[in-house]
Amino acid sequence: MSDFSTTRRQFHLPAGITYLDGNSLGPLPLAARERARAVLDEQWGELLIGAWNGAGWMDLPRRVGERIARLIGAPPGTVSVGDTLTVKVYQALSAALALRPERRVVLSDSGNFPSDLYAAQGLIERLGGGRELRVVAPEAVAEALDDEIAVLLLTQVDYRSGRLHDMRALTERAHAAGALVIWDLAHSAGALPLAVADCGVDLAVGCSYKYLNGGPGAPAFIYADAALTGQLRPDLRGWLGHAEPFAFERNWRPAAGVERLRIGTPPVLQLAVLEAALEVWEGVDMARLRARSIELSQRFIAGVEASCPQLALASPRDPAARGSQVSFAFAEGYAAMQALIARGVIGDFRAPDLMRFGFTPLYLDAADIDRAVAVLAEVLNAGEYRDGAPLAQGVVT
Amino acid sequence: MSDFSTTRRQFHLPAGITYLDGNSLGPLPLAARERARAVLDEQWGELLIGAWNGAGWMDLPRRVGERIARLIGAPPGTVSVGDTLTVKVYQALSAALALRPERRVVLSDSGNFPSDLYAAQGLIERLGGGRELRVVAPEAVAEALDDEIAVLLLTQVDYRSGRLHDMRALTERAHAAGALVIWDLAHSAGALPLAVADCGVDLAVGCSYKYLNGGPGAPAFIYADAALTGQLRPDLRGWLGHAEPFAFERNWRPAAGVERLRIGTPPVLQLAVLEAALEVWEGVDMARLRARSIELSQRFIAGVEASCPQLALASPRDPAARGSQVSFAFAEGYAAMQALIARGVIGDFRAPDLMRFGFTPLYLDAADIDRAVAVLAEVLNAGEYRDGAPLAQGVVT
């Protein structure tokens, strides 16, 4: 598994730690350190306000968007970066609903991350008019796509089980029913080969602190189909999405491209660190990454099933049907995860009973997997979890 | 003016620069450097996902909010930090409008920053139902407050002229008319003594990269009156505003306090840098800061009027009627500002003809003002602006 050794060397990986939680928060890319220092010392410190133009701050949302575009199969000029993922979900949904004014239903599934559902509920609650958020089981989505549906809003990879939706098939099905589609790629971007443009996706959003390693609170991204962009008038809009922000006009006049989805002043420091983090991806082939991710996760499943009979696989067994994470159910998973972390193998826990592990080929290899399996088996077979104090709940999904 | 020498020493001020643009982007506080390094190297780098709890990341929006609360006259537990200012305007307005369902008008003024108006327009456009954004002249606001008004949405200090609204009087007047009030404190927080709670303000928002020196793209803050908070159900909502985010429930159940206005995963790096920047304010008396700001701005006006007859004061002459910035109108102000910046005196320009200067006692003293006046007089009297190439427009308002 030496093909990814050059990317592994670009991360700071703490001594003695095996990190299987890059699906929550990627580790520190070495380039991010230097970039943060430069932004503070050389740009903010020395150029002051002049850095907006002089150091290219103003252009960061577009520039970082170009790097992400390549990773999700989007053409140049169709991705903008900023805000949090929930804000972008809300913004995308508001713009999409306006394009289907005669329809009343937003369709999602019970595998969607709750924050996406909250944003949709908030918008729909206020719009009223008989609008409805309809949440069905993941396997019932295709069937539920009928002519009532205005927008299909799905997260491609389930944050608990790793179950993977078929983006192409569901997008086609939604379009056949006359609905627009918004994909949340939180657990997909940087984990899977994606082809949002080729699949005909209307809008997509995602976060950058998981597989893209942008750091804690790194901003979200939004993709809009180039043919659709000119029609988008999001409720949530701001001066930097105006065609001429510095004209300071009283009425919003949208920028021509995806820039219309920009809102306020961008988080320069987070964007600059993210931009540096994305340099790791140069030359990475997403199909090879996916193949390696499957190798690692299959190796982990085989190892755990051979040595930890207490655990039950809670993710799809078919690797083609899951993202880049694997969960095992265990009634005492909370304490077991705590014991595992205390031994330097970091995964996380999701209620009620899921031990969750992420596979990130950029910086993990087979030796990491074997160590994780061995330590997990020791923890379980020694019953270490029985003495565990309650684990402070992990934070990021 | 030695009283602020201890705060001045806490900033990095580039050699040879006189910085009168801290009303757009405050300079680098020395503590911010070290904090950014610690977040990357010691927290993200070493603790990885464990830093959310282990390094207090999760609590940053509240902790930073407490520091800002003191500066705006808000009690503990009433301010949360995150997102951009425009997002917070939208969120506050959506929550406020829901409390006045029978009223149809949002009142604002032509001195408001355009992005606030765009957010209001976006929300109102979608809500429909005869709702209207009514924009009047600043001096006509009090008169326009009648029983049609659901919400009064104002920026206290005009970003161009520095004209200052009377927060107490307009809040009282709005309440007497049955309206709720949202104040945008973008150009107020850190510039003026504020008493949002004592004035009975319902909601307030602001940014932290101007007078609070939080760095480029530092997050916004939102204040909610403690008695009102329990009624707020913003359209724009997310998992971190849920009463129990890690229960991952399907329906949004708002947190008890101002935390319900949190949305997505917070921008940790920006928040940590902002938290460090706010340490400068420890022990600063806002009334003394305001007195010093007035001294500096009056000194500047007197100097400019004595030596630069080409310029016409475009801010209120009465210092009690303006914030902490002063603008002069000059037909060739664009090129003149460029020439001034080339000489190391940094202000900014706002179309069509305003040269804008900010006064920030934390790190400016009388000698800075005298130098700025002298260089400005040289530039104008030598006609240097006549050779200027077009100035790249400054970015932050």
| A110: closest chain B residue by CA | B250
Instruction: Verify whether the Cβ–Cβ distance A87 to B263 is below 8 Å.
Output: yes
- Which of A378, A270, A100 is closest to B44 using CA atoms? A270
pLDDT of residue A395: 41
Catalytic residue among B4, B90, B209, B211: B209
pTM for the complete prediction? Answer: 0.96
Q: Are strands A180-184 and A28-29 parallel, antiparallel or unpaired?
A: unpaired
B192 vs B287: CA distance, rounded Å? 8
Cβ distance B84 to A264 less than 8 Å, yes or no, reads yes
Q: Is A334 on the interface with B (CB under 8 A)?
A: no
Number of other residues whose CB lies within 10 A of the CB of residue A342: 12
Q: Which of A41, A121, A126, A210 to mutate to test the interface with B (most CBs of B within 10 A)?
A: A126
Mean pLDDT, chain B, rounded, equals 95
User: What secondary structure letter does DSSP report for A318?
Assistant: S
Q: Which position has the token pair 């940014």?
A: B207
Q: How far is CA B376 from CA A48, A165, B8, B308, B337, in A?
A: 19, 63, 23, 8, 9
CA–CA separation, B219 vs B63, rounded Å? Answer: 13
* Yes or no, beta carbons of B216 and A98 under 8 Å apart: no
pLDDT of residue A388: 53
Phi-psi region of A388 (alpha: psi -120 to 50; beta: other; left: phi over 0): beta
Q: What is the mean pLDDT of residues B71-96?
A: 98
Q: How far apart are alpha carbons B246 and A115 in whole angstroms?
A: 11
Catalytic site includes residue B209: yes
pLDDT of residue A386: 83
Interface probe, candidates B19, B47, B84, B222, chain A, greatest A C-beta count within 10 A: B84
Q: What is the ipTM of this complex?
A: 0.96
Residue B397 has pLDDT above 80, yes or no: no
Look at B44 and A51 and tell me if their CB atoms are within 8 Å.
no
* Interface residue A337 vs chain B (CB under 8 A): no
B204-240 tens-digit pLDDT = 999 999 999 999 999 999 999 999 999 999 999 999 9
Quick check: helix, strand or coil at residue B242? strand
Q: How confident is residue B384, by pLDDT bands cut at 50, 70 and 90? A: confident
Alpha-carbon span A122 to A118, nearest angstrom: 6
Q: Tokens 């190892």 belong to which residue?
A: A303
- Catalytic residue check, A63: no
Position B387 confidence tier, pLDDT thresholds 50, 70, 90 = low
Measuring CA to CA, how many Å separate B238 from each of A87, A89, B4, B356?
Answer: 8, 10, 41, 38
Shortest alpha-carbon distance between residue A75 and chain B (Å)? 27
Give yes or no for residue B310 having a pLDDT over 60. Answer: yes
Q: Is B4 a catalytic residue?
A: no
CB-nearest partner of A238 from B110, B118, B267:
B118
Average pLDDT over residues B262-267: 98
Distance from CA of A292 to the nearest CA of B (A): 23
- How much is the pLDDT for A155? 98
Note whether A250 contacts B37, CB cutoff 8 Å: no
B322 forms bridges with which residues in the sheet? B163
Give the pLDDT score at B54. Answer: 96
Number of other CB atoms surrounding residue B162 within 10 Å: 26
Residue A330: φ, ψ to 5°: -160, 125
- Which residues touch A328 (CB under 8 Å, ≥6 apart)? A304, A308, A311, A312, A313, A314, A354, A355, A357
Residue of B184, B225, B348, B368 marked catalytic: B184
Q: How far apart are CA A23 and CA A191, in angstroms?
A: 9
Give every CB contact of residue B145 below 8 A, 6+ residues apart in sequence: B107, B152, B170, B173, B174, B176, B177, B179
**Which residues of chain A make contact with B80, given a CB cutoff of 8 A?**
none
Tell me which chain A residues have a C-beta less than 8 angstroms from the C-beta of B51: 216
Taking all residues of chain A, what is their mean pLDDT, rounded to a whole number? 95
Domains with residue ranges and CATH for chain B: 2-29+285-387 (3.90.1150.10), 56-281 (3.40.640.10)
CA distance B360 to B19: 9
SS3 of residue B323 by DSSP = coil
Residue range A301-337, pLDDT digits in tens: 999 999 999 999 999 999 999 999 999 999 999 999 9
Nearest CA in chain B to A160: B248
User: What was the pLDDT predicted at A391?
Assistant: 45
A395 in B contact zone (CB under 8 Å): yes
B352 cis-preceded (ω within 30 degrees of 0) = yes
* pLDDT number for residue B91: 98
d(CA A323, CA A252): 40
- Three-state SS at B366: helix
Indicate the pLDDT class of residue B395, thresholds 50, 70 and 90.
Answer: very low
Distance from CA of B331 to the nearest CA of A (A): 17
The string of pLDDT tens digits covering residues B339-376 is 999 999 999 999 999 999 999 999 999 999 999 999 99
Instruction: Establish, for the pair of chains A and B, how many residue pairs have beta carbons separated by less than 8 Å.
Output: 302
Q: Are residues B49 and A348, on separate chains, in Cβ contact within 8 Å?
A: yes
List per-block mean pLDDT (blocks of 10 residues) for chain A, which spans 397 residues: 81 97 98 98 98 97 98 98 98 97 97 98 94 98 98 98 98 98 98 98 98 98 98 97 95 97 98 98 97 98 97 98 98 96 96 96 98 97 74 44
Share of chain A above pLDDT 90, in %: 94
